[in-house]
């Protein structure tokens, strides 16, 4: 099985950009985090950031609760790509202080603009320490909005830059399987780790009118980049066989190089049988 980390690496963008009405904050309860530099407060009903103050200068950075930020999600549908989930229309089921420096906020069964209620749980962990204020958002479902296999280069980079406190052999095995086995998918959402993988492995590129996913040229480049990163991970762990296999796959980017026009998918796309054709759409 592929590492669980991949379930959260494909990316749904979480943008803290929400505007809510001022009246709802008049009697709002707060969950407060503070250190020696910063104080921040979150509304217990919406999860919005409604107060922020620099403690050393007494500058009230967020002084208008009605402009408090929560989130925005982009969740494409099969018949409509632009489908947003607006934070101001959601109710937080949990706004909980889980440590002196952390708040965890959770929204369930969120309501989208064009798809109704979606069975998505969004959990955001906010950490405040030494004036730093990162937000980590993790949805429980894969939206399928991004093509490629980002877990491979991310985990490979972790190892390359010194991360060792994880089961490296198991991680490599899962990532190699995801890069070479066309059946690897998330059963609940029916999302494949690599769409159009069968064509990619057979032809050395994702062709025009690929089966699954979108953007044949982009998918080929994404997979080739992931394969190169994974080949280096395999080499570092002494797996010579997978290193050679994946390094060979990483050269597949060349198969979208048209010798007549150069690498120019805006002019021509590569078909299933290897021929080049005029561009049919912007879905590259």
Calpha distance 193→139 (Å, rounded) = 17
Please name every residue paired with 38 in a beta bridge, in sequence order, or none if there are none. 54
- Given this model, what pLDDT does residue 243 score? 97
Residue 106 lies in a domain: yes
Phi and psi, residue 168, nearest 5°: -65, -40
Domain count, the chain: 2
Residue 146 lies in a domain: no
Residues of the domain holding 13: 5-139
- Given this model, what pLDDT does residue 128 score? 87
Calpha distance 102→32 (Å, rounded) = 10
Residue 58 lies in a domain: yes
Residues 56 and 162 in one domain: no
Residues 166 and 102 in one domain: no
Is 37 in a helix, a strand, or coil? coil
Residues 156 and 92 in one domain: no
Pairing mode of beta strands 72-74, 102-108: unpaired
Residues 129 and 165 in one domain: no
Residues 10 and 129 in one domain: yes
- Given this model, what pLDDT does residue 242 score? 97
| Domain limit, last residue, from 118, 139, 160 | 139
Residue 144 lies in a domain: no
CATH number at residue 259: 1.20.1610.10
- Given this model, what pLDDT does residue 271 score? 54
Residues 237 and 265 in one domain: yes
Residues 203 and 117 in one domain: no
pLDDT in tens, the chain (284 residues): 444 443 333 333 333 333 333 334 444 588 999 988 899 999 999 899 999 999 889 999 888 888 887 888 888 776 777 788 988 889 999 999 998 889 999 999 999 999 889 888 888 888 888 777 766 666 666 555 567 888 899 999 999 999 999 999 999 999 999 999 999 886 655 678 888 899 899 999 888 766 666 678 888 899 999 999 999 999 999 999 999 999 999 999 888 877 776 665 544 565 554 555 655 544 44
**pTM greater than the 0.85 cutoff:** no
């Amino acid at each position: 099985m592929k590492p669980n980390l991949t379930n959260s690496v494909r990316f749904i963008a979480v943008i803290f950009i929400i505007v809510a009405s001022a009246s709802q904050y008049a009697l709002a309860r707060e969950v407060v985090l503070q250190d020696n530099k910063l104080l921040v407060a979150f509304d217990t009903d919406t999860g919005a950031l409604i107060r922020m103050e620099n403690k050393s200068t007494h500058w009230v950075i967020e002084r208008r609760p009605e402009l408090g930020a929560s989130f925005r999600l982009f969740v494409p549908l099969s018949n409509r790509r632009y489908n947003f989930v607006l934070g101001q229309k959601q109710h937080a089921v949990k706004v909980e202080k889980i440590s002196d420096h952390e708040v965890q906020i959770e929204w369930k069964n969120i309501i989208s603009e064009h798809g109704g209620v979606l069975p998505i749980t969004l959990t955001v962990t906010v950490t405040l320490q030494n004036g730093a204020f990162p937000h980590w958002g993790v949805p429980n479902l894969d939206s399928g909005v991004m093509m490629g296999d980002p877990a491979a280069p991310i985990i490979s980079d972790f190892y390359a830059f010194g991360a060792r406190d994880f089961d490296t052999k198991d991680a490599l095995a899962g990532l190699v399987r995801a890069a070479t086995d066309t059946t690897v998918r998330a059963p609940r959402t029916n999302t494949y780790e690599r769409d159009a993988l069968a064509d990619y492995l057979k032809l050395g590129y994702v062709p025009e009118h690929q089966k699954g996913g979108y953007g044949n040229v982009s998918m080929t480049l994404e997979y080739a980049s992931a394969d190169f990163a994974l080949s280096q991970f395999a080499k570092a762990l002494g797996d010579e066989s997978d290193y050679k296999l994946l390094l060979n796959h990483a050269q597949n980017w060349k198969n979208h190089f048209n010798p007549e026009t150069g690498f120019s998918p805006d002019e021509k796309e590569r078909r299933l049988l290897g021929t080049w054709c005029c561009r049919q759409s912007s879905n590259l």
